[in-house]
């Protein structure tokens, strides 16, 4: 099969998946319905302060697995649904930021700076339209980059990287993530180390499960869901409840602002916004392609770059950034939305997740089986069909389809989501906690999983209080096993060379980069501290 | 009338073949937990889930499948041993888990601590290589190693590593043995060029048929179906083989009626050519192998005892 | 905007940068010291005592990486992180602190969840025992764990306890409204997780 055949097969696999119902005799595949459902739920979740995409992905995963089973045919509907949530939440997050000055997520914070003033000026709908247009543009651009880059990157990796280089690459990713997430490389390293330690309990090659203290409970190790959901989601819920106790006040005043007549996004507006959108989309995509940096930095950078350009070029009667400039919304939303697609580049070509959403996609693929994100996916075998490659192009199709949904119905649906702010958080958070624990139990079916998850939740809470980012923990937990296996393999494949990590030029370069990035960020931090 | 007749027949049959009637009369007192020692989504996991589904349809029993992976099936056996033995908990592993893996692990458990229900299928376990490397059989690979080429060989269990070690010793060569989890992982590593040759137990069928892969040796006591000419390990100077089957077991001391009923029910599914799972078994694993009941208990015990001999041979 | 840089503060909304900050705090030094200590304990006590093979081991006349290497590597990560905190980041401004109030909050929250799940675990079997006592029957909860209404008893009571308990904690007291909402939430969860899915088991029914 040629490249074109694979792409075609992937598209067909998406659109001709098992039939859900038919419209005028044309069968509608379950995949289409799942992406649509995920997308709409994602917008709702994104628009609800206190919820975000990863929560919805985490909770829906066991239900999806139960509905679709553990077979390759489950991959497209399940991953399609999760991708839908991911994209929907990206769009939905701007709603509370613009309407109520409450960013649903940290990266929507910059959206409030101009979005809320615009809403106060009576242009709420227009602000939402700008946010949607910019977000969808950034997202689409990022996806296109993903479609083109991931296969090539994977092929290059697979052709040039042997076992030692693959190990070195994993080490580089971990050290990069430790160094850049959260601003403190020291805390990043601690978070990474804790994640590694947790995943190494109960695993290993010996028949005695290491570090299990002789107990049966630890002998099977910590289930991945308990660590990931515990640290990421339960930890955040605990912190959220504590914040509620501290605040003890209602947010947002809903005093009605009279709408101004001009709520339409004109071509002239788009022409004016386009330079900001394209710049931010580039920034977001570049940042997204690096594992672990994430959308908040992208939003901040996009906004900052947009602001300096705006100050130089604006006409005297234009509003400044921060006072309701449409360009501010565009720059922020395009940047943070263009992270999500590019973030799948390291996932699909290396199997390395860069953010929480990517973590759940990998989790889903691993639970179902039959699709192992990594360079082997993009093996263009000609005489036999590589089913993983078909799935990969099916996923690309799902993403493209989600983009189509975003452009067509996304804006309309998004603008109707202002009501979600009315759900009180002191009711929402405890309910989501029980929901999450139930979802964990249903996947693991043993009570120990609840205790583990709770323990990780407490850990996640403590890490937040100490401003240790939990994401390096989670990524280390996911990559730890891979890292150990690949080190063992590289070591034995090299004929027991103790310096296998420095046995080839590429491996050496990767290792030096891994050390360099830590030293560099630590030094930078020191300079900041003494400044 | 009908009722009396049934009773008569029943009493008659009881005198002839006690087991049969006990099996027919037994039904699980509650939902059956099925512990699966394989990663979700793989061939073995699919097999287990399909068998559960088929049994639900055919017998009206209720199954709750659960993954307990790790330590070559020993984790699953450990969990299973703590379940009640009334037939409401069974587990699926490979015979190697109850044999070599249990024997060499420091577990207190022995093969006799479990009740054999039924095997389902054997493996087409062989050493596989890429056609483009030009090796026809394992003898060519050994010759290449002797000539000084560094050969990376992928294994998927400690027992296979032991067998490889004996093969090295018998032929005076040394491979770089790289261990993977499961045959699919080895197959991927062969395809990606991370290893040169490796043990695969079924998933190679498609590649062998297409001509990309070649079966260099059989790791079994008999030749491989697709490549009957490939030498067996015994032809390469190894006195042991890697024969094995997928097997369902229950906790030890299960009542004979439950053991019999569950074993027969499972065997009935995998030998029924109309069942989806039987078709998959035929395609991937070369057909069903059903050893049940007391015979299986003895088979498992044998495997456990043989493991000691292999370990001894390796330590020499 | 999915999940922020790290997907963490996703559940927090209006209080960015509001964690308690003390400029003269030495929390980085304390944390760094604790990390170095913990890493040393892991590498020099826990790993040697609780792992079978060493950092490398000899198997079949070959040197192999043993099971100890990976956890020791993890300890090295924690130790380096701790050292950098101690030596490089000790004096950075805006060091967060973990206060006694934080500790009280998380202890109470965890206690509510633990109590709720213990209730969940034992209410069903206890009910069966009581029924047996009244009727003289010999029911076993384990065999009933997939049959209505038995399978819902524990989840229903325990679930309400968890949700209402945490709401009460947030609001500083139990109200009838919150109990009603908790009940509605638990019923909704049963409808989502159990009713449409034949093969899913609500807690605690998977391992009783």
Split into its structural domains, chain C has a count of 2
pLDDT attached to residue A292? 63
pLDDT attached to residue C90? 83
pLDDT attached to residue C19? 45
Q: For the ranges A410-414, A454-458, B217-221, B300-304, which has the lowest average pLDDT?
A: A410-414
pLDDT attached to residue B145? 96
Report the SS3 class of residue B32: strand
Q: Is C144 on the interface with B (CB under 8 A)?
A: yes
Place of tokens 């605040």: A247
Same domain, C122 and C80: no
pLDDT score of B173 more than 70 = yes
- List, for residues A155-174, the tens digit of each pLDDT value: 887 778 889 998 998 999 88
Task: Compare CB distances from B30 to C59, C61, C142 and report the shortest one's residue.
Answer: C142
Task: Compare CB distances from B314 to C60, C143, C206 and report the shortest one's residue.
Answer: C60
pLDDT score of A313 more than 90 = no
What are the structure tokens assigned to A141, written together?
Answer: 């651009």
- How does strand B89-94 pair with strand B245-251? antiparallel
Q: Is C142 on the interface with B (CB under 8 A)?
A: yes
Per the prediction, chain A carries an average pLDDT of: 87
Any domain includes C199: no
pLDDT score of B31 more than 50 = yes
pLDDT score of C47 more than 50 = yes
Query: Does residue A475 contact residue A351 with C-beta atoms inside 8 Å?
Result: no
Per the prediction, chain C carries an average pLDDT of: 86
d(CA A514, CA A522): 13
d(CA A175, CA A192): 8
What are the structure tokens assigned to A415, written together?
Answer: 């603008």
d(CA C131, CA A405): 55
Any domain includes C207: no
Beta-bridged to residue A29, according to DSSP, are A19
Q: Which residues contact B172 (CB under 8 A, 6 or more apart)?
A: B146
- List, for residues C80-91, the tens digit of each pLDDT value: 999 999 988 888
Any domain includes C201: no
pLDDT score of A383 more than 80 = no
**C79 vs chain B: nearest CA distance in angstroms?**
29
d(CA A492, CA C65): 8
Subunit contact C16:A103, Cβ cutoff 8 A: yes
For residue A431, name the pLDDT band (cuts at 50, 70, 90).
Answer: very high
- List, for residues C119-137, the tens digit of each pLDDT value: 999 999 999 999 999 998 8
The most confident of the ranges A368-382, B2-16, C30-44 is: C30-44
Nearest to A265 by CA among A140, A137, A132, A110: A132
- List, for residues A350-374, the tens digit of each pLDDT value: 888 877 888 889 888 888 877 888 8
pLDDT score of C176 more than 80 = yes
Same domain, C92 and C129: no
Among chain B residues, CA nearest to A445:
B66
For residue A104, name the pLDDT band (cuts at 50, 70, 90).
Answer: low
Domain end, chosen from C44, C76, C96, is at: C96
Among chain A residues, CA nearest to B206:
A384
Q: Is A159 on the interface with B (CB under 8 A)?
A: no
Domain end, chosen from C61, C96, C131, is at: C96
Chains that touch B (3 or more CB pairs under 8 A): A, C
pLDDT attached to residue A235? 92
Same domain, C92 and C105: no
Q: Which residues contact A249 (CB under 8 A, 6 or more apart)?
A: none
Any domain includes C54: yes
Peptide bond before residue B311 is cis, with ω within 30 degrees of 0: no
Domain end, chosen from C96, C128, C146, is at: C96
For range C95-108, the mean pLDDT: 92
Beta-bridged to residue B177, according to DSSP, are B153
**Cα-atom radius of gyration of chain A, to the nearest Å?**
23
Any domain includes C8: no
Task: Compare CB distances from C189 to A62, A206, A434 and report the shortest one's residue.
Answer: A434
Q: Is C143 on the interface with B (CB under 8 A)?
A: yes
Any domain includes C12: no
Among chain A residues, CA nearest to C184:
A431
Which residues in chain C are closer than 8 Å to A245, comparing Cβ atoms?
105, 169-170, 172
**B178 vs chain A: nearest CA distance in angstroms?**
5
Q: For the ranges A283-297, B63-77, B289-303, which has the lowest average pLDDT?
A: A283-297
Which residues in chain A are closer than 8 Å to B177, comparing Cβ atoms?
492
pLDDT attached to residue A261? 63
pLDDT score of A385 more than 90 = no
Among chain A residues, CA nearest to B37:
A220
Nearest to B249 by CA among B69, B42, B87: B87
pLDDT score of C181 more than 70 = yes
Subunit contact A485:B181, Cβ cutoff 8 A: yes
pLDDT score of B251 more than 60 = yes
Q: For the ranges B43-57, C18-32, C104-118, which has the lowest average pLDDT?
A: C18-32
Q: For the ranges A277-286, A330-339, C16-25, C97-106, which has the lowest average pLDDT?
A: C16-25
Interface with chain C: mutation pick from B28, B34, B36, B64, highest number of C CBs within 10 Å: B64
Subunit contact C60:B29, Cβ cutoff 8 A: no
Which residues in chain B are closer than 8 Å to A367, comparing Cβ atoms?
40-41
Question: How many CB pairs below 8 A link A and C?
Answer: 364
Q: pTM for this one?
A: 0.87
Same domain, C107 and C135: yes
Same domain, C91 and C74: yes
The most confident of the ranges A292-306, B66-80, C22-36, C153-167 is: C153-167
Same domain, C79 and C144: no
pLDDT attached to residue A452? 97
Same domain, C38 and C67: yes
Same domain, C124 and C82: no
Residues shown for chain B: 316
For range A207-232, the mean pLDDT: 89
Place of tokens 């099925």: B34
Peptide bond before residue C122 is cis, with ω within 30 degrees of 0: no
Q: Is C60 on the interface with B (CB under 8 A)?
A: yes
For residue B16, name the pLDDT band (cuts at 50, 70, 90).
Answer: very low
- List, for residues A53-65, the tens digit of each pLDDT value: 888 888 888 888 8
Subunit contact C142:B84, Cβ cutoff 8 A: yes
For residue A257, name the pLDDT band (cuts at 50, 70, 90).
Answer: low
Q: What share of chain C has pLDDT > 70, as a percent?
A: 88
**B230 vs chain A: nearest CA distance in angstroms?**
23
Q: Is B170 on the interface with C (CB under 8 A)?
A: no
For residue C9, name the pLDDT band (cuts at 50, 70, 90).
Answer: very low
Same domain, C188 and C104: yes
d(CA C176, CA A305): 52
pLDDT attached to residue A146? 93
pLDDT attached to residue A422? 75
**B20 vs chain A: nearest CA distance in angstroms?**
35
CB atoms within 10 A of CB A162: 18
Same domain, C121 and C184: yes
Helix (H) or strand (E) holding C105: helix C100-135
Same domain, C71 and C115: no
Alpha carbon C159 to its chain centroid, in Å, reads: 16
What are the structure tokens assigned to A259, written together?
Answer: 């709408």
Domain that holds residue C28: 20-96
d(CA A234, CA B161): 43
Same domain, C56 and C109: no
The most confident of the ranges A137-146, A180-189, A471-480 is: A137-146
Domains in chain B (CATH in brackets) are 2-122+245-315 (3.40.190.150), 125-236 (3.40.190.10)
Residue B288 carries which DSSP code? Answer: B
Any domain includes C46: yes
């Amino acid at each position: 099969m040629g490249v074109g055949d694979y792409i075609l097969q992937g598209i067909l696999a998406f659109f001709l998946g098992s039939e859900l119902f038919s419209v005028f005799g044309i069968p509608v595949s379950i995949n289409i319905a799942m992406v649509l459902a995920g997308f709409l739920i994602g917008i709702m979740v994104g628009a609800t302060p206190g919820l975000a995409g990863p929560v919805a992905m985490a909770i829906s995963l066991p239900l999806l697995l139960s509905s679709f089973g553990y077979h390759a045919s489950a991959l497209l509907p399940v991953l399609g649904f999760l991708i839908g949530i991911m994209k929907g939440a990206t769009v939905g997050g701007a709603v509370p930021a613009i309407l109520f000055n409450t960013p649903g997520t940290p990266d929507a914070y910059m959206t409030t700076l101009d979005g809320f003033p615009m809403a106060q000026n009576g242009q709420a709908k227009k602000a939402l339209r700008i946010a949607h247009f910019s977000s969808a543009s950034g997202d689409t651009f990022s996806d296109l980059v993903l479609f083109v880059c991931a296969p090539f990157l994977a092929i290059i990796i697979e052709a040039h990287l042997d076992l030692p280089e693959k190990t070195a690459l994993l080490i580089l990713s971990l050290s990069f993530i430790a160094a850049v997430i959260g601003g403190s490389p020291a805390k990043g390293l601690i978070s990474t180390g804790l994640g590694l330690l947790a995943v190494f309990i109960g695993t290993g090659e010996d028949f005695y499960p290491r570090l299990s203290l002789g107990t049966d409970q630890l002998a099977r190790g910590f289930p991945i869901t308990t660590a990931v959901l515990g640290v990421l989601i339960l930890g955040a819920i605990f912190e959220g409840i504590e914040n509620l106790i501290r605040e003890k006040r209602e947010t947002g005043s809903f005093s009605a602002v009279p709408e101004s007549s001009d709520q339409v996004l004109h071509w002239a507006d788009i022409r004016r916004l386009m330079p900001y959108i394209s710049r931010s989309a580039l920034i977001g995509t570049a940042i997204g392609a690096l594992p672990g940096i994430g959308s908040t930095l992208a939003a901040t950078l996009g906004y900052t770059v947009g602001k300096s350009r705006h100050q130089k070029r604006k006409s005297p009667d234009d509003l400044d950034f921060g006072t309701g400039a449409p360009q501010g919304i565009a720059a922020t939303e395009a940047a943070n939305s263009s992270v999500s697609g590019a973030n799948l580049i390291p996932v699909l070509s290396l199997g390395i997740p860069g953010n929480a959403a990517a973590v759940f996609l990998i989790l889903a693929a691993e639970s179902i089986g039959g699709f192992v994100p990594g360079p082997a996916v993009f093996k263009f075998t000609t005489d036999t069909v590589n089913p993983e490659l078909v799935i990969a192009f099916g996923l690309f199709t799902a993403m493209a389809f989600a983009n189509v949904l975003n452009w067509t119905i996304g804006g309309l649906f998004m603008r109707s989501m202002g009501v979600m702010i009315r759900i009180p958080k002191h009711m929402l958070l405890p309910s989501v906690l029980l929901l999450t624990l139930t979802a964990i139990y249903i996947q693991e079916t043993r009570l120990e999983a609840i205790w583990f998850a709770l323990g990780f939740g407490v850990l996640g809470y403590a890490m937040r209080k100490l401003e240790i980012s939990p994401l390096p923990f989670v990524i280390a937990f996911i990559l730890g096993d891979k890292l150990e296996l690949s080190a063992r393999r590289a070591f034995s494949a090299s004929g027991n060379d103790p310096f296998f990590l420095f046995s080839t030029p590429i491996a050496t370069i990767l290792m030096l980069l891994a050390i360099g990035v830590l030293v560099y960020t630590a030094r930078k931090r020191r300079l900041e501290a003494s400044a | 009338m009908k009722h009396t007749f049934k009773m008569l027949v029943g009493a008659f049959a009881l005198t002839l073949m006690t087991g049969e009637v006990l099996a027919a009369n037994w039904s699980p007192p509650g939902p059956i937990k099925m512990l699966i020692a394989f990663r979700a989504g793989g061939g073995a996991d699919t097999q287990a889930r399909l068998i559960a589904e088929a049994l639900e349809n055919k017998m009206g029993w209720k199954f709750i499948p659960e993954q307990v992976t790790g330590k070559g099936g020993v984790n699953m056996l450990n969990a299973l041993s703590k379940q009640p033995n009334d037939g409401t908990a069974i587990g699926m592993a490979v015979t190697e888990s109850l044999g070599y893996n249990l024997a060499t692990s420091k577990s207190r458990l022995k093969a006799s601590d479990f009740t054999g229900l039924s095997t389902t299928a054997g493996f087409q376990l062989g050493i596989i290589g890429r056609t483009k490397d030009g090796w026809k059989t394992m003898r060519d690979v050994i010759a290449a190693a002797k000539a000084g080429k560094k050969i990376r060989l992928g294994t998927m269990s400690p027992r296979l590593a032991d067998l490889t070690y004996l093969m090295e010793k018998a032929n005076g060569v040394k491979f770089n043995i790289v261990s993977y989890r499961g045959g699919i992982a080895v197959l991927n590593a062969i395809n990606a060029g991370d290893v040169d040759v490796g043990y695969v137990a079924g998933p190679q069928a498609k590649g062998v048929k297409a001509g990309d892969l070649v079966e260099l040796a059989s790791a079994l006591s008999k030749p491989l179906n697709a490549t009957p000419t490939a030498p067996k390990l015994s032809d390469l100077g190894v006195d042991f083989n890697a024969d094995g089957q997928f097997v369902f077991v229950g906790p030890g001391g299960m009542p004979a009626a439950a053991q019999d009923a569950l074993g027969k029910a499972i065997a009935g599914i995998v030998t029924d050519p109309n069942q989806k799972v039987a078709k998959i078994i035929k395609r991937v694993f070369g057909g069903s192998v059903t050893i049940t009941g007391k015979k299986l208990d003895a088979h498992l015990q044998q495997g456990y005892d043989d493991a000691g001999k292999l370990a001894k041979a390796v330590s020499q | 905007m999915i999940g922020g840089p790290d997907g963490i503060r996703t559940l927090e909304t209006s209080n960015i940068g509001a964690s308690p900050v003390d400029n003269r705090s030495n929390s980085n030094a304390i944390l760094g010291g604790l990390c170095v200590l913990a890493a040393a304990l892991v590498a020099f006590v826990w790993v040697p005592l609780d792992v079978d093979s060493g950092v490398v081991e000899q198997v079949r006349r070959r040197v192999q990486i043993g099971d100890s290497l990976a956890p020791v590597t993890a300890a090295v990560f924690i130790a380096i992180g701790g050292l950098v905190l101690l030596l490089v980041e000790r004096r950075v401004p805006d060091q967060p602190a973990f206060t006694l109030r934080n500790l009280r909050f998380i202890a109470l929250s965890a206690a509510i969840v633990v109590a709720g799940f213990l209730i969940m675990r034992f209410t069903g079997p206890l009910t069966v025992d009581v029924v047996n006592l009244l009727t003289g029957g010999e029911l076993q909860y384990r065999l009933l764990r997939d049959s209505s209404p038995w399978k819902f008893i524990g989840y229903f009571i325990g679930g309400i306890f968890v949700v209402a308990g945490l709401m009460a904690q947030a609001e500083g007291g139990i109200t009838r409204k919150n109990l009603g909402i908790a009940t509605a939430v638990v019923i909704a969860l049963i409808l989502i997780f159990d009713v449409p899915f034949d093969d899913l088991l609500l807690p605690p029914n998977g391992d009783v």
